[in-house]
Amino acid sequence: MPTDSRRLPVPEVSHSPELFCSSDPTSLINDDSLRKDGRNPEEIAGIFMQCGTVSQAKGSSFCELHKTKVICSVYGPKDVEQKEDFQMIGKLKCDFKFAPFSCHKRRGHIADLEESELCEVLTQALSSSVCLHRYPKSQIEVYVIVLENNGSALAAAITAASLALADACIEQYDIVAAASVRVFGKENFLRDPTFHEEYFPHQLSKKNDFNNGVVTVALMPTLNQVCGVLSEGCMESSVLQEAIQTCTEEAQNLYAPLRKCLTSNLGDINV
């Protein structure tokens, strides 16, 4: 991806020093069947959510899922930018970006193909829940930035975006909760994978690469409707279906904390 050379006088090609270290071949689960950060395979990460973090935005939220930190701001409904786009259904415009310092490897300032793909998945997941027919001739802008990526960034982003939309009083059919699962082997699922537990094909040899992957599912809990699925890695279809089932259960469990976060935010307003 060509960098914007007019903005930054940096060398064309530079590598992170970590690439030159030998890769760590330790397995994901040690002998006590615990993961690297001390959790059980079925144990979910601690989640922290707060609304109204960005005071200038119509609605905003901050979500922290183990160490992954995501901020989301919502602006709108406002007039559509190009006057030719006159439509009776509102437009949802999302922007998803990893901050350059957020991942292990430095990311560029301009969104690359991976970020635009995740942005599309985020837009499509939110489009199923926002009542766009209530906002004709308008657009709603959702800006998500990942401050620190320690795994499950897309899941945290979708949850934070839906929370921010609720904080902005944008009508939705239901709040969207997302969860992800790392699959390795037929029976092993790790819920809420950290960055080291995520799926990187270059760290695995060809023999171990079967039934290995990451699955992210976005769900509307009360309606029980799936609004987003993204998976990577070669898996048997039964393993994939089981992984989707696991993610769905986990997203259902997120409903109670999300509801509590929104209602506690209302309690602060002096009536």
Residues that bind other proteins (CB under 8 A): 15, 19-20, 23, 113-114, 116-117, 120-121, 124, 127-129, 201-206, 209-210, 212-213, 215, 220, 223-237, 240-241, 244-245, 248
Other C-beta atoms closer than 10 Å to the C-beta of 133 total 10
CB of 54 to other proteins, least distance (A): 26
Output the smallest distance, CB 88 to other proteins, in A: 13
Closer residue to other proteins, CB minimum distance, 206 or 268:
206
State the nearest-atom distance from the C-beta of 234 to other proteins, in Å: 5
Q: How far is CA 1 from CA 4, 8, 52, 101, 120, in A?
A: 9, 15, 35, 17, 19
In the bound state with other proteins, the residue whose beta carbon lies nearer, of 48 and 200, is: 200
Q: What is the 3-state secondary structure (H, E, C) of 110-134?
A: CCCHHHHHHHHHHHHHHHCCECHHH
CB nearer to other proteins: pick between 195 and 210 = 210
* Closest approach of other proteins to the CB of residue 209, in Å: 4
Q: Which residue lies nearer to other proteins by CB, 245 or 264?
A: 245
Query: How far is it, in rounded angstroms, from Cα 249 to Cα 100?
Result: 33
C-alpha distance from residue 44 to each of 89, 207, 229, 260 (Å): 38, 29, 19, 18
